[in-house]
Structure 1
Amino acid sequence: MWFGKKKQPPIRSLIGEGTAVHGELRFSEGLRIDGEVHGDVVASADHPSLLVISENARVHGKVMAGHVIINGEVHGPVHSDELLELQPKARIVGDVCYEALEMHQGATIDGELRHRQVAEEKPVLKLAASNEV
């Protein structure tokens, strides 16, 4: 039914409700935030990643991951390499860069929306040797 849809990486880490983290947060595969993070949240570029920011969560810093699902608040730039899903209660104050965007009614962005420009690999140009005698 969903042709071409990739399997999501498992969520292996959780920042629980009532928990506040101060500092940069780096993760691989999947992370769910239900609490507060004061610092950047960055996924490893080595593997596909999933970041879920739930309804009661708050992030004060940069967010970077492959697939990002937001239903809470982010105060900082958001960068999604694959899909950015903004649920009805999502609130973003900062610029947003995305490959694909799904935005539900009620979600708000106070910043600039930019489609991610994929750097296309240019074919190597080979010059034929001159046959001048």
Structure 2
Amino acid sequence: MTTKLNLRPAIIFLLLFGFAQGAFSQVTKEQEIISKNVRIDKYHDREELLAMNKGQLLDLYIQRIDVIIKILPNIAFTTKPGVTMSDLGIPDTKEHRKALLDNIEATSSYFEDTMAFQKLVLPYSDKSSLLSAILFYEQTLKSLHTYNDFD
């Protein structure tokens, strides 16, 4: 008496298991050196800033610090958000990925600590000093558009 093995259910199970595993496996996206979220949407002139209240100026000031902290230390690599290490020819190694992640975490921690201090004492600053600082930060950030002229 011969027994026939019915392999069809086993093959179907393996195919479904393989598809499910592929669907639920984590897709790792390479970390950007500067996040695409780091940007200034609008630059201001003195008249626009004069028309704002101190609360609006405080928000702008904090946003500018955020961008400066996340971009300026990285300008030897790139001035543009969204660039990855492999875009720059840096080997995608475990050591490099860890170093970049550590740097991103340290930057985030530094920003949070700085903002805790700024939110506590910045409201005591003069409106004119805030305005000048925002214009200075914005001018600094605008200069990044000409950074490649130094190459």
State the TM-score bracket (shorter-chain normalisation). Answer: under 0.3
Query: Could you say which structure has the larger radius of gyration?
Result: 2
Under a length normalisation based on structure 2, what TM-score does the superposition of the two structures give? 0.20
Normalized per residue, the structure richer in strand is: 1
Q: Answer 1 or 2: higher relative contact order, Cα 8 Å, separation at least 6.
A: 2
